[in-house]
Amino acid sequence: MRMKIVNEITVKIKKKSAQSYIKGYPLLTKEALVTMPAMEEGTILRLVDESGRFLAKGYHGNQNKGIGWILTYDEKQTLNQAFFITLFEEAFAKRQVFFNDDATTAFRIFNGEGDGLGGLTIDYYDGFLVLQWYSHGIYQWKSTILAAIKTVITTRGIYEKRRFDAKGQYVESDDFLEGDTAPEPLIVKENGINYAVYLNDGAMTGIFLDQRDVRKTICDTYAAGRTVLNTFSYTGAFSVAAAFGGASHTTNVDVANRSIPKTREQFTVNELDPAAHTIMAEDVFQYFKYANRKALAFDMVILDPPSFARTKKTTFSVAKDYGKLLEESIAITNPNGIIVASTNYAGYGMDKFKQVVQEAFKNQGRKYRIVEQFTLPADFATRSSFKEGDYLKVLFLEVK
């Protein structure tokens, strides 16, 4: 494979930022640079402090908050195939328990900066890989990175998602790269439950792998005998886990029409009868009104909205509206019921999220207890020097 020559330039880090890079902060920001030189994305950056002392090497790639990522603290390290091979070997070795587990065939094998290379994630779906590139910069290294991956792991086929247009949005494209194409749907397993996924169907595959532990806990501990309302239900993955755990009924609400056939399929591939469940295409805020009118109440309400969404009827943002969403949910949760409150909104830390929860219960005059708490699962490796990377916050709230 032909390799692209990518230039290396030296950039100076401001005195007040140098210390955080010495401590291992992996994100390169514009504010940290003394001056931002004109350079192409993908350029290798040799970072020095204001007195010219070597700090680290990174690369330039524009991605929402940063302009690149740190790669190594070894000045002599060149960014060749061998460098990436070492990274992938270490990362894949850390997932050995997942590779050895026949009951779980879909998981993350490389998690960006958590595994030493910001801007790239790799998910494993029963022998197929899905690479996600988060900047033009990292994409410049594609041929070297692909060659390195193939040295370390044998795959059935490889797909990619490019997530780097102006707003960091998914670039609509044919995502198949090489090898065999995956069946449509591809059936993966998670803790023994089947999930239908599509590797070449836009930005999302049908399952969010970071919620594995949450699905397992719903199934194993909280679903039995309960009626479940799953809002922002997408393919109904939480509902399938709940049904396996003995939920008496699930109601699935998502504004997207595609959710209906996709949710039916998730039940069907597990030999569960979708007709035994309620699956509807509806704005959740409209649904709450309907539930109030009909005096409906549930034993479990699941809330896992996107950070931001605009529909014909409403604009939702976690930052503004999570409290309202919780209050609507509290109002239709039976005593001793469970609310599963989840968000991947990067602007909230766990503490802030807990405050929003507390406020909502206070406004509704109901008491609660936090019975479970989750952040990212083990395969979504994060590092302590970069707390922002651990974006997932999930609370199980027992409503009194």
Minimum Å gap between C-beta 174 and ligand SAH is 22
Nearest residue (CB) to ligand SAH, 121 versus 211: 211
* 283 scored as a contact of ligand SAH (CB under 6 A): yes
Binding of ligand SAH by 106 (CB under 6 A)? no
Cα 177 from Cα 160, distance rounded (Å): 7
Q: Shortest distance, CB of residue 79 to ligand SAH, whole angstroms?
A: 35
Relative to beta strand 186-190, strand 193-197 is: antiparallel
Is residue 399 within 8 A of residue 366, CB to CB? The reply is yes
* Site for ligand SAH contains 328 (CB under 6 A): no
208 is a contact residue toward ligand SAH (CB under 6 A): yes
Q: Give the x/- contact pattern for ligand SAH in 20-49, rule: CB under 6 A.
A: ------------------------------
Q: Which is nearer to ligand SAH, 72 or 311 (CB)?
A: 311
Q: Among residues 149 and 341, whose Cβ is nearest to ligand SAH?
A: 341
- Contact between 311 and ligand SAH per CB under 6 A: yes
Nearer to ligand SAH, 114 or 305 (CB): 305
| 89 versus 201: smaller Cβ distance to ligand SAH | 201
Q: If binding means CB under 6 A, how many residues of this protein chain bind ligand SAH?
A: 22
Nearest approach, Cβ of 177 to ligand SAH (angstroms)? 25
Question: Which of residues 147, 309, 331, 346 is near ligand SAH by CB under 6 A?
Answer: 309
**Which one, 123 or 254, has the nearer CB to ligand SAH?**
254
Task: Tell me the closest approach of the beta carbon of residue 289 to ligand SAH, in angstroms.
Answer: 12
The two structure tokens encoding residue 83: 């460098």
- Looking at beta carbons, which pairs linking 30-34 to residues 24 or more positions away fall under 8 Å? 30/67, 33/67
Site string for ligand SAH, 218-257 (x = CB under 6 A): --------------xxxx-xx--------------xxxx-
| Cβ distance to ligand SAH smaller for residue 256 or 276 | 256
From 267, 316, 353, 386, residue interacting with ligand SAH (rule: CB under 6 A): 316
User: What is the total residue count of the chain?
Assistant: 400
Q: Please choose, out of 26-34, 107-115, 310-318, 371-379, the segment that lies near ligand SAH by the rule CB under 6 A.
A: 310-318
145 or 207: CB nearest ligand SAH: 207
Beta carbon of residue 75, minimum distance to ligand SAH (angstroms, whole number) = 43
* Nearer CB in complex with ligand SAH: 89/372: 372
Question: Interface residues with ligand SAH (CB under 6 A)?
Answer: 208, 211, 232-235, 237-238, 253-256, 259, 283-284, 304-306, 309, 311, 314, 316
